[in-house]
Amino acid sequence: MTKFAFYGRVSTEDQQDPASSRNWQIARSRQIIEQTSGEVVTEFFDIGQSRSIPWKRRPEAARLLETFADPRRGFDAVVIGEPQRAFYGNQFGLTFPVFVHYGVELWVPEVGGRVDPGSDAHELVMSLYGGMSKGERNRIKTRVRSAMAAQAAVEGRFLGGRPPYGYTLGDAGPHPNPSKAAIGQRLHVLVPDPTVSANVGRIFDEFIAGKGLYAIAETLTGEGILSPSAHDPNRNRHRASSGGAWSKHAVKVILQNARYTGREIWNKQRRDEVLIDVDDVALGHESKMRWNDEADWVWSQEQTHEPLVTPEQFEAARDIFQSGQRAAVRKTKTRHPYMLSGLMRCGICGRRMQASWNNNKAYYRCKFPSEYAVAEDKHPKTVYVRENAVLPGLDQWIGQLFDDEHIEATCQALSNASNAELDDQPEQALAIRRQIKDCDSKLKKYRELLETQPDIAVVGTWISEVERERKKLERQLNVRPKNQSMTKTEIRELVTQLRDIVDVLAKASPTDRRAVYDELGVNLTYHPETKMIEAGAGAPHVLTVGVGGGT
Q: What is the mean pLDDT of each run of 10 residues along the chain (551 residues)?
A: 91 72 91 87 91 90 93 93 89 92 93 90 89 85 88 87 90 86 88 94 93 89 87 68 76 93 90 79 80 88 92 92 57 67 85 83 81 67 86 81 70 60 57 80 76 62 76 66 52 60 69 77 85 71 47 37
How many Cα atoms within 13 Å fall on the side-chain side of residue 272? 11
DSSP per-residue string spanning 302-330: S--S--SS-HHHHHHHHHHHHHT------
Residue 325, number of CB atoms within 10 A of its CB: 7
> Of 430, 436, 535, 459, whose CA–CA distance to 240 is shortest?
459
Sorted by sequence, the CB contacts under 8 Å of residue 457 that are 6+ apart come out as none
Output the pLDDT for position 8: 93
Tell me the C-alpha distance between 355 and 385, whole Å: 10
Asked if residue 189 lies in contact with residue 175, where contact means CB atoms within 8 angstroms, the answer is no
Sorted by sequence, the CB contacts under 8 Å of residue 156 that are 6+ apart come out as 263, 264, 300, 301, 302, 303, 304
Give the global pTM: 0.54
From residue 291, alpha-carbon distances to 28, 256, 445, 453 in Å are: 43, 14, 12, 12
How many Cα atoms within 13 Å fall on the side-chain side of residue 102? 20
Angle between helices 91-102 and 120-150 in degrees, nearest 10: 140
> Of 144, 442, 90, whose CA–CA distance to 271 is shortest?
144
User: Can you list the domains of the chain with their CATH numbers?
Assistant: 3-139 (3.40.50.1390), 187-323 (3.90.1750.20), 344-546 (no CATH)
Angle between helices 488-497 and 407-418 in degrees, nearest 10: 130
Tell me the C-alpha distance between 143 and 407, whole Å: 65
From residue 50, alpha-carbon distances to 39, 65, 130, 215 in Å are: 28, 18, 14, 47
Asked if residue 165 lies in contact with residue 119, where contact means CB atoms within 8 angstroms, the answer is no
Kindly provide the residue ranges of all beta strands, DSSP E only, lying in 53-122, ordered along the sequence: 77-80, 105-108, 113-114
Sorted by sequence, the CB contacts under 8 Å of residue 14 that are 6+ apart come out as none
Tell me the C-alpha distance between 292 and 265, whole Å: 12
Residue 193, number of CB atoms within 10 A of its CB: 20
CA dihedral of residues 188, 189, 194, 198 (deg, nearest 10): 150
Asked if residue 13 lies in contact with residue 47, where contact means CB atoms within 8 angstroms, the answer is yes
Query: What is the dihedral sign for C-alpha 366, 370, 373, 376?
Result: positive
Asked if residue 152 lies in contact with residue 159, where contact means CB atoms within 8 angstroms, the answer is yes
> Of 292, 313, 228, 265, whose CA–CA distance to 452 is shortest?
292
Tell me the C-alpha distance between 80 and 91, whole Å: 14
Helix, strand, coil % (nearest 5) of the chain?
45, 15, 35
